[in-house]
Copies of this chain bind each other. A is one copy, B any other.
Amino acid sequence: MLEPNDYKVADLSLAEAGRHQIRLAEHEMPGLMALREEYAEEQPLRGARIAGSLHMTVQTAVLIETLTALGAEVRWASCNIFSTQDEAAAAVVVGQGTPERPEGVPVFAWKNETLPEYWWATRQILTWPGADENPDAGPNMILDDGGDATLLVHKGVEFEAAGTVPADPEEGDEDYSYEYTVILAALRESLAENPQRFTRLAERIQGVTEETTTGVHRLYQLAEEGKLLFPAINVNDSVTKSKFDNKYGIRHSLPDGLNRATDVLIGGKVAFVAGYGDVGKGAAEALRGQGARVIVSEVDPICALQAVMDGYQVARLEDVVEDADIFITTTGNKDVIRAEHMLRMKNKAIVGNVGHFDNEIDMASLAKTEGVRKVEIKPQVHEWVLGEGTDNERSIIVLSEGRLLNLGNATGHPSFVMSNSFANQTIAQIELFTKHGRTTAGGSPEYANQVYVLPKILDEKVARLHLDALGVRLTELSKAQAAYIGVDAAGPYKPDHYRY
């Protein structure tokens, strides 16, 4: 059922364009489509009311429609103010338009939200019609990316217990951020409407599934402090998430971003890749595959040894900063490329980030450097003129202002990669919803208020769901062979510590 008043993007022509793209994406998301088929009859999510907070893209549309195909009711917001693809949102709101599936799903997301709009939207996915009167009509599952929905619930419960929302911190206070004041304002409004809304809601949440490093980190902290209010599944550390999303996704989307942003031939260039974790491995492979010579930097001696054995030069940035043409950060740490480095780079060197945090490249200190000027070449591509007017005047090209260039300059991971991540999300939702420890859904109490990873057999299942589309025929173990290596013929095939 379409709710036009609370949603801006229900535009039928947009929706039609989005539906085309969703249809093509379905083909590239065989994991989700296989789950739809497998569970078509069983409807394991019947009764699930899922509050979803995750980039509202074409791929997410396929996820949402998979969840509803398995019986769930869903409300959705994006987890990033920029990342919504409006045509995807519109198509989801309008629904699939078939006789069997006439209805759409309420989506509260549009491209370029303000922060107050963003947190309003996040509240909407947790505020279900009628739930103030009947808490059992509210959400009972959270699907999270970055942990914002989970954060809102935990803060809401905390402040409701205190009876009040604290005053805004001042600028300069340690816990001050503009965004935090927006969250506090949203909760003040909520407490005014219903002073027990989040408390009751949290009691009924049967679990959250979370797919980012950051979100997972928050969950482990809450669990350690004994404050986690419901079970959580860490989808981020599934092999089919971490090894595939990070390595193969970046291998695809890094050159895509570079190519759309610039006119630079990657072949023959020297490319510097900071970090040789999974993201760095994918980045280095992509650049080498295009004929670049890749130099890697590493902190971890084991990853450094892997890089050398894979044929890459391993050096410190400061030792090669004058030699490279392209600089890519993949570390997840901060201040990896600093102003001092950028000032020594070649004229027209390209600097970009596919790590995680937008402080990997220390743009702030570059901006403060004397004699620096920023020129927009096109959106998400800026030339920074250095040492203007000196003998050493030069410029460098910074992509996406130091934020993730594969998102900012291209379209992020392709559908096939997301199919792996989202199949993990879907299976984790089924797992928690059908086996949680709350009484409302009658499941057996297998999960406590802790953080879990998916059992390896389910991780293997996610992989299995993608093999047909790639033309793979798996070999089957005979009983004797399975016994010989001490596993079940149906898997799991490896000990938990296996490194792949």
Contact = CB atoms under 8 A, between A and B. Distances in A.
Contact of A267 (B309, B375, B411, B499): B309
Contacts of A252: 259, 265-267, 290
Contacts of A289: 285-286, 288-290
Interface stretch (A2-10, A132-140, A199-207, A315-323): A315-323
A459 B302 contact: yes
Contact of A21 (B269, B377, B471): B377
Interface string A36-48: 0000000000000
A364 to B, nearest CB: 14
Interface string A445-477: 000000000000001110110110011111111
Interface in A249-298: 251-252, 255-256, 259-260, 262-270, 274, 278, 285-286, 288-293, 297-298
Contact of A333 (B240, B297, B464, B481): B481
A314 B476 contact: no
A367 interface: no
A299 B28 contact: no
Interface residues of A, number: 105
A306 B264 contact: no
A358 to B, nearest CB: 13
A318 to B, nearest CB: 9
Interface string A407-426: 00011001111000000000
A248 B267 contact: yes
A332 B493 CA distance: 12
A491 interface: yes
A243 B288 contact: no
B244 A304 contact: no
B473 A316 contact: yes
A270 B471 contact: yes
Contacts of A67: none
B304 A467 contact: yes
B497 A497 contact: yes
A397 B243 CA distance: 29
B333 A485 contact: yes
A260 B260 contact: yes
Contacts of A416: 264-265, 267-268
B24 A348 contact: yes
A500 B310 CA distance: 13
A330 to B, nearest CB: 13
Contacts of A323: 471
B298 A475 contact: yes
9 contacts: A24-B383, A28-B264, A247-B309, A251-B267, A301-B467, A303-B500, A306-B500, A333-B481, A333-B485
Interface of A: 20-21, 24-25, 27-28, 58, 237, 239-240, 242-244, 247-248, 251-252, 255-256, 259-260, 262-270, 274, 278, 285-286, 288-293, 297-306, 308-317, 319, 323, 332-335, 347-348, 375, 377, 383, 397, 410-411, 414-417, 459-461, 463-464, 466-467, 470-478, 480-481, 484-485, 491, 493-494, 496-497, 499-500
Given A302-B494, A302-B500, A304-B467, 16 more contacts: A24-B377, A24-B383, A242-B499, A248-B267, A252-B266, A264-B415, A268-B308, A278-B499, A292-B311, A293-B311, A305-B472, A308-B470, A314-B467, A314-B472, A319-B473, A335-B481
